[in-house]
Amino acid sequence: MSTGLLFALVGAALFPLGAAGLLLQRHLLRRILAFNLMGSGAFLVLVGLAQRQDVPDPVPQAMVLTGIVVAVAATALALALTRRLHALTGRLELPEAAHD
Amino acid sequence: MKRFGIGGAALLLALALGYAMLELGPARLDLRPAVAAHLADSGVRHPVTAVLLNYRGYDTLLEVAVLLLALFAILAVTPPGPARRPAPADPLLQMLARLAVPLMLVASFYLLWAGAFRPGGAFQAGAVLAAALVLLHLTGQLPGWPTPGALLRGGLAAGLLVFLGVAAALLIEGSLLQYPPAWAGRLILLIEFCLTGSLGLILAGLFLFLCQAEGERR
């Protein structure tokens, strides 16, 4: 098994882990972390599958680089919104849906 | 019950993804020869930088716009307050930060320059620049940023504006962001230089604008 394939397999394990965390956790910080875990899984799959052969493919690498920066921006925005929610309501959870 | 359902579904998804990857054949479409064939015309010698700033310059342009947009949204949701300065850290830490920051500036410039021929480039250099600013803030030597003034706004937007300017200027050549090979290297360096400064400020701003809101509760 090549290193690239190992990366991709770890990514394939991280993505569902993050997805389950996103659905199961109520605390917003944990949700943001779970969301980032999903993103990291996707990046690992892209980078890992791109270097299965001897020479890595630069196109997915450049895309992952773009993706990481966008993920950082999205995380910062999510944290800002979480913080505002905390300042306004004193809670770090979203209100429950009525039918839940 | 819900826990087991979601956990089981996630496990199944992981197994299915893993199986698909183990069974995956070689890529049907190989872009590596295409990237290598045009590398000489791209103005840089590193394939990832060539993809980022030349072949797929669109992506990078929009990515910077997304970053700036996230920063605007953060500025919109955090109410302005007085500039906060964290309590000054241990003098030893302050000294270390003062020693580290010039080195980080040098490292940032090196990363920017190295992007043309080895891993590196504007984003990595901007991240180091932002880390230097955050380090200064955490050791109490740089106050958090209140509402940005004209100078800071200019700095935040400069990268995107220069990038857009180059893209628009190249429209006379026929298409957006298609550099003439003779000028590609210089144009990419100009864009990367402005991007590094703006990205450093934007990434640091994500932290320094956000930490302002702390004082607002009580």
State the pLDDT at residue B199.
Answer: 92
Sites in chain A below the pLDDT cut of 70: 1, 97-100
Helix then strand then coil, % of chain B, to nearest 5: 75, 0, 25
**What is the pLDDT of chain B when averaged over all its residues?**
85
* Residue A97: inside a domain: no
* Residue A99: inside a domain: no
Distance CA B210, CA A99 (A): 35
ipTM summary value: 0.84
Which positions in chain A touch B65 (Cβ < 8 Å)?
A: none
Is pLDDT at B213 greater than 70 in this prediction?
A: no
Q: Provide the number of structural domains found in chain A.
A: 1
Q: How far is A64 from chain B (nearest CA, A)?
A: 10
Residue B52 to residue A72, Cβ atoms within 8 A? no
Is A71 or B85 the better-scoring residue by pLDDT?
Answer: A71
State the pLDDT at residue B142.
Answer: 84
Under 8 Å between Cβ of B141 and B98: yes
State the pLDDT at residue B218.
Answer: 35
Q: Supply the DSSP symbol for B80.
A: P
Query: What CATH number does residue A20 fall under?
Result: 1.10.287.3510
User: Which tokens in the block code for residue B110?
Assistant: 């090196």
Is pLDDT at B36 greater than 60 in this prediction?
A: yes
Is pLDDT at B115 greater than 90 in this prediction?
A: no
Q: How far is B156 from chain A (nearest CA, A)?
A: 14
Query: In chain B, what percentage of residues exceed pLDDT 90?
Result: 30
- Name the most confidently modeled range: A30-44, B80-94, B114-128: A30-44
With CA atoms as reference, report the closest residue to A35 among A83, A87, A85, A70: A70
State the pLDDT at residue B212.
Answer: 67
Structural domain harbouring A43: 3-89
